[in-house]
């Protein structure tokens, strides 16, 4: 198996493919209190016509205004609870807003406060590379034995291709259930774009590492031989989260020395050796529940995005202690692009009857992408 447990960061992680639009001058340099009052006024004016969704990794100044806070799976489910809403403002990143547009009703319009809020992991799986991969699997006579599964951190075009070929979307919350579903459909699974989530989940389910291979989209046939692919039950796309690969097993060793008795819980997007060194792992919702339900006096090191870690630490203090596994904090820089200034701008525009930063998935992609997302929501 290729040695890809410690991925090398590349240029695609340093910038989003989505061009950032200039914020109008009137929204620059506003005091926090003024923005809070104006956002509250805009929300009141829009009433039930508006729903604001906020991903856990958003900064505190933004998440305070969300009607729903959660991971991708929880927020995807929240959309269906507001069929009367006209506007869904998604404080997250581009692929999340695309998923919201796919799941939304025809009259609903989805707005992303900053179009530059992308995802480096999603950018690691362009649609043309998945098309090439699928064609090469066809050439080898293996495509009919493979069901594609894409993590929700992927573009609408990827979700569409996956849905059209009998596959589904998953989140970290239902990744294990999705893998079980996939192996019930066909002999092997192509899992993209995060190799670590796929590897870690499958390993915890009992699949040995020698039945997993990594598909490198920049190599012919993924850099794999036919024999390697035929022996594999899980084909992992060579992609990763630039936040979660910053956590290391050495950090776990250090935090255990500094805090005897500490429990370490990690997100399953971390590298494999970090998963093995930790006490527990799970989605952001699982991490939150596990720490909240732990006995008073517990001490936790949490390996996920720093905004979530800081909010959790404040919530459970003083009964429990929560620290970030990375002492410098792992920030999702593209999530951080959504600011209260951007949120105020898009809400003011809606009050004035203008829709800015609308996310519209082309109809040609919507059909199959929705099928893939509906399959995700049905898998428990």
Q: Where are the beta strands (DSSP E) in 4-158?
A: 50-55, 68-70, 87-91, 109-111, 146-151
Burial of 310 (C-beta count, 10 Å sphere; 0-12/13-18/19+):
middle
3-class SS at 157? helix
Give the C-alpha distances (Å, rounded to integers) separating 25 from 153, 336, 341, 342.
32, 20, 10, 11
User: Could you read off the pLDDT of 228-253 as tens digits, one per residue?
Assistant: 999 999 999 999 988 899 999 999 99
* Predicted pLDDT of residue 3: 30
User: How would residue 334 be classed by pLDDT, with cut points 50, 70 and 90?
Assistant: low
Q: How far apart are CA 202 and CA 200, in angstroms?
A: 6
What is the pLDDT, as a whole number, of residue 157?
94
- How does pLDDT run across 28-49, given as a tens digit for each residue? 999 999 999 999 999 999 999 9
Q: Is 82 helix (H, G, I), strand (E, B) or coil?
A: coil
pLDDT, tens digit, for every residue of 104-155?
Answer: 999 999 999 998 877 788 889 999 999 999 999 999 999 999 999 999 989 9
State both tokens at 70. 């959660």
Residue 20 has pLDDT above 80, yes or no: no
Q: Residues 221, 136: contact at Cβ < 8 Å?
A: yes
Say what the pTM is.
Answer: 0.85
pLDDT in tens, 56-92: 877 888 989 999 988 777 787 788 888 999 999 999 8
358's enclosing H/E stretch is: strand 358-359
Q: How far apart are CA 73 and CA 197, in angstroms?
A: 15
Q: Does the pLDDT at position 13 exceed 60?
A: no
Across-strand partners of 105? Answer: none
Sketch out the chain's domains with CATH numbers.
Answer: 14-118+336-361 (3.40.50.10800), 125-239 (3.40.50.10800), 244-324 (3.40.50.10800)
Mean pLDDT of 308-314: 92
- Please give the average per-residue pLDDT across 282-288, as a whole number: 92
The tokens describing 277, both together, are 């060194």
Joined tokens for residue 36 = 């809070």
Instruction: Read off the pLDDT of each residue in 265-281 and give the average, rounded to a whole number.
Output: 97
Average pLDDT over residues 196-222: 98
């Amino acid at each position: 198996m290729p040695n890809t447990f410690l991925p090398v960061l590349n240029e695609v992680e340093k910038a989003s493919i989505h061009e950032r639009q200039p914020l109008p001058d009137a929204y620059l340099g506003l005091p926090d209190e003024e923005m809070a009052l104006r956002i509250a006024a805009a929300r009141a004016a829009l009433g039930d016509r508006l729903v604001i969704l906020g991903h856990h990794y958003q900064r505190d100044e933004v998440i305070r205004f969300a009607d729903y806070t959660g991971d991708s799976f929880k927020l995807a489910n929240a959309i269906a609870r507001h069929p009367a809403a006209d506007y869904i403002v998604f404080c997250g990143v581009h692929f999340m807003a695309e998923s919201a547009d796919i799941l939304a009703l025809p009259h609903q319009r989805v707005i992303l406060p900053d179009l530059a809020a992308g995802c480096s992991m999603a950018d690691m799986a362009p649609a043309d590379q998945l098309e090439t991969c699928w064609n090469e699997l066809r050439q080898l006579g293996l495509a009919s034995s493979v069901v594609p599964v894409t993590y929700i951190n992927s573009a609408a075009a990827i979700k569409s291709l996956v849905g059209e070929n009998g596959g589904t979307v998953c989140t970290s919350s239902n990744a294990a259930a999705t893998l079980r579903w996939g192996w019930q459909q066909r002999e092997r699974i192509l899992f993209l774009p995060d190799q670590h989530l796929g590897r870690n989940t499958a390993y915890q389910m009992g699949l040995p590492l020698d039945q997993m291979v990594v598909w490198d989209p920049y190599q012919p046939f993924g850099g794999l031989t036919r024999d390697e692919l035929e022996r594999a039950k899980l084909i992992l796309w060579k992609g990763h989260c630039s936040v979660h690969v910053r956590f290391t097993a050495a950090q776990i060793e250090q935090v255990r020395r500094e805090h005897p008795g500490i429990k370490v819980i990690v997100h399953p997007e971390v590298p494999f050796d970090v998963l093995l060194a930790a006490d527990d792992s799970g989605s952001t919702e699982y991490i939150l529940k596990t720490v909240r339900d732990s006995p008073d006096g517990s001490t936790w090191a949490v390996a996920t995005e720093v905004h979530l870690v800081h909010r959790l630490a404040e919530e459970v203090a003083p009964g429990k202690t929560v620290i970030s596994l990375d002492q410098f904090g792992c920030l999702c820089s593209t999530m951080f692009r959504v600011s209260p200034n951007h949120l105020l701008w898009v809400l003011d525009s809606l009050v004035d009857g203008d829709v800015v930063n609308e996310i519209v998935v082309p109809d040609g992609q919507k059909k199959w992408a929705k099928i893939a997302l509906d399959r995700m929501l049905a898998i428990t």
